[in-house]
Amino acid sequence: MSQVARSKGRAGFITGFLVAPLALYLTFVIWPYVQTFGYSFTNWSGQSPTFDFVGTDNYATLLKDEVFRGALWHNLLLLVFVPVVTILLALFFAFMVNAGGRSGAGGVRGVGGSRVYKVVYFFPQVLSLAILSVLFGAIYRSDEGGLLNGFLTRIGLIDAQHPVEWLNEPDFVLWALLFVVVWHGVGFYLVLFSAAMQSVPKDIYEAALLDGAGRAQTFFKVTLPLLWDSVQTSAVYLGIAAMDMFVLVSTMTSGQFGGGPDHHSEVMSTVLMRNFLYFGKSGYACAMGVVMLALTMILSIVTLRATRRERIEF
């Protein structure tokens, strides 16, 4: 086969292999993303085929929308607490599981049964958020039939006549949801950090041990700096998850697409969906989508900058 024919055939092959995946991806992912920007400047209802361009009106309305501002504030709270709590717990557990056990001979290893812990802790990660919603809906029940209330009543911490309405208390609802996210996520990050810890050469630990470092010192002076890249990546992932929260809020809290009581658990995604599917304000919902994108971008950049450190090679 001549060189020309060969390269022609190759071009055909490359195109052939790329056409279908690209077409699908462009149609259902990229093009809708792009369209959102356009629609966000219109008063489109979604039902009627006609709409007008209203410039930045939607964005101006957003700024004044009390519900959306509250939702934004809740997202920001979650943005701080979800990553911090999850990462701290996961780091602690990962350290215990991988380097917590010690023998007199100076080896570094996990505590006993570490494999079992890893398997059990990761399990919530494969459960769907819908299952979490059913499970924690039952756990947080507002009567004694809820696992949490039932347990707290049994040990005498709360009065059986006045159980706590976890998901209806304005002050508790967001934290109750936060706990679900943490419960769900810790195992994943434990496995992630474990992998990073295991790729650290053992002699680094042994050297630290010989120099007389305790467990806490080993953790802060050796493990954490070597893991910084993974921690950073995790913070971004968790931040993105905290920007979403749609399934849990919309299914576990009261109100159309959740957000109750009285908007105390409202997040941006639930406000967006309510405006889109319930109020029929598609253009306005698109503007919210754009704001969410902007915040996600800012969040990623800020997290990566703020946590930037000198990279340690090993």
Which residues inside 67-96 make contact with other proteins, applying CB under 8 A? 89, 92-93, 96
Does 57 bind other proteins (CB under 8 A)? Our answer is no
Q: In a 10 Å sphere around its CB, with 0-12 CB exposed, 13-18 middle and 19+ buried, how is residue 295 labelled?
A: middle
AA letter at 43: N
45, 61, 133, 254: which one binds other proteins (CB under 8 A): 133
What are the C-alpha distances in Å from 19 to residues 25, 39, 76?
10, 28, 40
User: Which residues 243-272 are close enough to bind other proteins by CB under 8 A?
Assistant: 243-244, 246-247, 251, 268-269, 272
Does 214 bind other proteins (CB under 8 A)? Our answer is yes
Does 166 bind other proteins (CB under 8 A)? Our answer is no
Residue 263 region by backbone torsions, left for phi larger than 0, else alpha for psi between -120 and 50, else beta: left
CA distance 174 to 170: 8
DSSP state of 126: G
Evaluate whether 110 touches 101 at the Cβ level (below 8 Å).
Answer: yes
58, 75, 86, 149: which one binds other proteins (CB under 8 A): 149
Shortest distance, position 263 Cβ to other proteins, whole Å? 18
Shortest distance, position 30 Cβ to other proteins, whole Å? 7
Shortest distance, position 235 Cβ to other proteins, whole Å? 13
Does 2 bind other proteins (CB under 8 A)? Our answer is no
Residue 138 region by backbone torsions, left for phi larger than 0, else alpha for psi between -120 and 50, else beta: alpha
Does 142 bind other proteins (CB under 8 A)? Our answer is no
14, 224, 298, 304: which one binds other proteins (CB under 8 A): 14
